[in-house]
Amino acid sequence: MAFYSKRGLADKLRARNKTTGISNLLVAKAVYSFAADGGTTGLITPKKTVALPAGAVIVGASINSTTAVTSAGSATLAVGTSAGSAANSILTATAKASLSANALVNGAATFAAPVKLSAAGDITVTVATADLTAGVVEVNVLYFLASA
């Protein structure tokens, strides 16, 4: 299997998509883990993240909390990117109660309301209202690359 730099893969896929016909729907995955990433309020770039390229058009996302998100307060969790879109463009602030063990939550970006990145950015999470005390959340983002 060939490995490409973030820019190299994006350039290769863009070159393939310059013609009309079949395109690629891609999946990017990030994993937020309280044990690895902490849980203080604010923006967190998970250790297991991926950069979405500039021009990526997000058309869907599925958030799976494999371990329940917990907090001593009424914490919320949002998902977005570090650049190119908002900190809540993938998932708007969602209460910890919605992120119980093995819960599946649909993302904010959809085919009807896509999000196009103006710059490359890592998938990030934002903790608000109160610190988290536990949780593991998988973020799967469906996107394609715009030609321009």
pLDDT tens column, 60-76: 999 999 999 999 999 99
pLDDT score at 24: 83
**Cα 112 from Cα 104, distance rounded (Å):** 20
CA-CA distances (angstroms) from residue 121 to 31, 108, 116, 143? Answer: 15, 17, 11, 13
**Cα 80 from Cα 88, distance rounded (Å):** 4
Q: What does the pLDDT look like over 80-101, one tens digit per residue?
A: 999 999 999 999 999 999 999 9
Percent of the chain at pLDDT exceeding 70: 84
Strands 91-95, 42-44: pairing kind: unpaired
- The helix/strand/coil state of 78 is strand
Where residue 37 falls (left for φ over 0; alpha for ψ -120 to 50; beta otherwise) is: alpha
**pTM of the entire structure?**
0.85
What contacts 111, CB < 8 A, 6 or more positions away? 59, 60
Residue type, 120: A
CA-CA distances (angstroms) from residue 114 to 1, 109, 117? Answer: 31, 5, 10
Q: What does the pLDDT look like over 104-122, one tens digit per residue?
A: 999 999 999 999 999 999 9
**Cα 97 from Cα 74, distance rounded (Å):** 9
Q: What domains lie within the chain, and their CATH numbers?
A: 6-145 (2.60.120)
